[in-house]
């Protein structure tokens, strides 16, 4: 199937180690291209406009690296990351258990 990718996503994909034969998982939108040849024949093909690509983990493992562009979470504004976790925060309480259902004495129908 023919696929198309554009802008920064296409550049990131081109710089990755995905090569012909690499198993990937692709998410995107299908569309049909239609055209007419100079001889007057009508043609069409399915094309996927790719939104995302991930490595298939069926036969391999994956190591994920941070983007090569300036990725420095420690330099982000503190409110972006939220407050730091408490040193000894108490565990979150468990939600209450649902009531035990009462057995029916007669069939409900």
CATH number at residue 74: 2.40.50.140
CB of 15 closer than 8 Å to CB of 38:
no
CB of 30 closer than 8 Å to CB of 47:
yes
Query: Has residue 86 been placed in a domain?
Result: no
Weakest mean pLDDT among 18-22, 26-30, 59-63, 66-70:
66-70
What is the number of structural domains in the chain?
Answer: 1
Q: In angstroms, rounded to a whole number, what is the distance separating the alpha carbons of residues 92 and 36? A: 64
Higher pLDDT, residue 40 or 107: 40
Least Cα distance to 10 among 55, 65, 57, 49 occurs for 49
User: CA 95, 96, 102, 103 torsion: positive or negative?
Assistant: positive
Query: Has residue 103 been placed in a domain?
Result: no
Percentage with pLDDT > 70 across the chain: 60
Tell me the residue range of the domain where 20 lies: 2-81
Structure confidence at residue 46 as a pLDDT band (50, 70, 90): very high
Check pLDDT > 90 for residue 34: yes
Higher pLDDT, residue 15 or 92: 15
Q: In sequence order, what are the beta bridge partners of 44?
A: 34
């Amino acid at each position: 199937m023919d696929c198309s990718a554009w802008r920064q996503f296409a550049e990131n994909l081109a710089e990755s180690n995905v090569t012909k034969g690499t198993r990937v998982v692709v998410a995107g939108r299908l569309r049909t291209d239609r055209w007419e040849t100079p001889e007057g024949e009508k043609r069409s093909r399915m094309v996927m406009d790719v939104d995302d690509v991930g490595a298939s983990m069926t036969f391999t493992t994956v190591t994920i690296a941070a983007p090569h562009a300036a990725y420095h979470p420690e330099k982000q504004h503190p409110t972006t990351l939220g407050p730091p976790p408490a040193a000894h925060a108490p565990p979150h309480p468990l939600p209450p258990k649902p009531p035990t259902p009462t057995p029916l004495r007669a069939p409900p129908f």
